[in-house]
Chains A and B, each alone.
Chain A
């Protein structure tokens, strides 16, 4: 298993993501945004969390123009797996590999905490090790995680099984944590090879850090 983790100026979770996939036994390489090509023979590209370009214009809006992104689009269009976590999710929506957009949280604050999320569909590589309706406890840390999409497209992604994760309370009921439509926390594309989520599975890999649920999620890519 070979994983490429992208580093844009301002990315700040690339080392955490590197650490997480290394723990899972993957061979991980960090790739600078100015590269034109992805490394050879990789099995997964991860766009890690952080503040690419400081999020100064709009989260992910500048990073999508980085040279490496052209290669990422080609890689995804060939049917390969791409995962965007937090800022990575924002970049994937900005470049159009994932549907929808992420707006400022409706309370206007950055929100950092452990949050329960529910697995909606597991018929995809990412969540293949989780059960549907399973409740996971994973950290969130974002200011722009308020998922929005127009009504027709919302129906479409819901009926296509593209909504993978919802924020929920401890009983599994959907929770309006940041204003996301249908409490959406993570989605995939129609082909189910490009994934994006606001929660940080790479922060929930060890019992001493409070949860191992993220490990279960990322292990999906290892099979």
Chain B
């Protein structure tokens, strides 16, 4: 090949890779084949840096129907129904073009769900931005990104008619050059009607459906497998453009198709488009495929085989149908006004044979391309910073009044209400939303088909993950499970979205390796397997990597949609109890961050038994109708948990608690919750907690026009003004 060095460089392939390609093909590749190898062996598609650590995740339990490896994970939710869910990142595109990047992130995850035969019924998102405070260019740009990403997510999800029922959003300067946009979707289907991404049965047709193929998103998978520099804005053409209307038609057409008996397998065309979908479908069965690329519906003239194989045009699916059903399949898509074309067939060669107007333009063995991607064992090294910050405690900083600290913390963007965000998302379409965004802790929908309710919560505290990647990742699993349990649901399984920096940096690889260990440990101990997930590396700009950010979404089941526990205070005069031990944990705390601007300290020992006991306590007490509300205690400690309860419930609280140190009202010890009880139920609740080995004390009483807790106090009107107005004022200040 001419200009081999240049061609390899532009495809991010090494000379070692090239030697491997020569060996696989037994000849020199052409450009189409180089493009295919490049996409299939990109970090994005091959998980080459991460695979080593992902092996060994716990993935099985009696309720797991489908673990990792398909488009999404599936769990049994009773009554013959299943929940299909996954989370994915769209970080790089969203930084370059926030509206379209975020919108197509939502579009991509929705396709992963309905490809499996499930109607998407709930979306969440986890967003990380940089410094939005201040008036420097970077601050204004970050605020622009917040506005664009939220608009993009809303426009896609709303048009699709899928409610966005919750999520999380946080801010740290480590995301200044790389924001994180993680989108989660969950769908419902009958547990015996799940569709997989497979191609098999010699002679069966391969049918292309959905939008026409254009030149957008060319090389997107390869783009997102690299770190950013100042020149990255020139990558804007690699960002796809979303068309939620077409995707809505594609959703309905696919669900109509699934009611027939025509489908063998179906796969969405996401990253690396037609290349990854066709290789994955055939790779899973060992079949071969023969495809005529000139038959692919094209948006513009003059496109080449190379472009057809690597375009990341959105809203497309590849179907392997039963022979003879071609006309019936095409008729369904035509009813919905979508393109559909038979572009190939299944063969027994085990090879991918591509034709262009009758001439063969690529011929490659499928298994080695999809399975022999280089698996790397990248060097790891413990980050130097950890030893510099691990010995810091609250005593390393100036002494300040609790009242002063509280006022700073309660107005932090991480604490205040995000209605500016979630009111742009339709959260109630499909008429299932029981616990909506803004109601604290998990989001909950009811399942019309079986009378049950599903709770879900997205969590990750990147400060914990920065100071201790292993424990931080474990705590993300714990917190997401705790939030789910607070609604009375039993946590069942997680999906994860692992966002890290540049894997070529040994310190980043160390963070990644340790985070994976933390997830493995927590999911094993808590019996909540990983059923799907996604890895996003190279979240680095000009040498600065993001904080390790393994976002976790836990999904749990409540057997009765009538007994979902809320996280709002219900009645003046009722008492609040604090469950769990307060141990003086301030590593990575909001207290240190908001008051002293640092992320420092260490994380204490994790007690999984205490966590499980807390879940069991809330679930059982709720089943016996002994609780009026429950809220976990996490970032900002007891003080911030009470502030959120007061603000969202429009009720005051008078609380007093004996602690060994006055600042412990802000302590972030894990495995704690605040529950509301009536005086009649109080003794029974206390007895139940003690029987489970949990510490439980009376915290205070609901009532009055202010929040009072030990030496801090704030009138409800002031608290609500801060809680409900701060976010919009900050984000809209440039408009």
Contact = CB atoms under 8 A, between A and B. Distances in A.
Interface of A: 9-10, 12-13, 15-16, 19-20, 49-51, 53-56, 109-113, 139, 141, 143, 200, 202-203, 205-206, 208-210
B245 A9 contact: yes
Interface string B405-426: 0000000000000010011111
A10 B156 CA distance: 12
Interface of B: 151, 154-155, 158-161, 243-246, 248-249, 336-337, 419, 422-434, 436, 446, 448, 561-562, 564
A53 B245 contact: yes
Contacts of A209: 428, 431-434
Contact of A56 (B160, B245, B424): B245
Contacts of B448: 19
Contacts of B432: 209
**A contacts with B: majority SS:** mixed
Contact of A16 (B155, B429, B564): B429
A112 B425 CA distance: 6
A208 B160 CA distance: 24
B646 to A, nearest CB: 19
Nearest to A206: B431
A102 B251 CA distance: 28
A109 B161 contact: no
B37 to A, nearest CB: 37
A10 B159 contact: yes
A208 B561 contact: yes
A111 B428 contact: no
27 contacts: A9-B336, A10-B248, A12-B161, A12-B248, A16-B429, A19-B431, A50-B161, A51-B158, A51-B161, A53-B245, A54-B159, A54-B243, A56-B245, A109-B423, A110-B425, A111-B423, A112-B158, A112-B425, A112-B426, A112-B428, A113-B419, A139-B428, A202-B431, A203-B428, A203-B431, A205-B431, A209-B428
Nearest to A139: B428
Give the one of A20, A112, A141, A143 with max B CB within 10 A: A112
B435 to A, nearest CB: 10
Contact of A208 (B154, B159, B426, B446): B446
Contact of A54 (B154, B244, B425, B436): B244
> Which 4 A-B pairs give the minimum distances between C-beta atoms?
A12-B161, A54-B245, A141-B426, A51-B159
A110 B420 CA distance: 10
Contacts of B423: 109-113
Nearest to B444: A208
A51 B245 contact: yes
A9 B431 contact: no
A13 B427 CA distance: 13
Given A51-B245, A111-B423, A205-B431, 12 more contacts: A12-B159, A12-B160, A51-B161, A54-B159, A54-B243, A54-B244, A55-B159, A110-B155, A112-B428, A200-B428, A202-B431, A208-B434
A20 B161 CA distance: 17
A205 B419 CA distance: 24
A120 to B, nearest CB: 24
A16 B161 CA distance: 11
Nearest to A113: B423
Name, among A56, A200, A206, A209, the residue most crowded by chain B CB atoms within 10 Å (CB to CB).
Answer: A209
A194 B562 CA distance: 36
Contacts of B337: 9
Given A10-B249, A51-B248, A110 B426 contact: yes
A215 B448 CA distance: 18
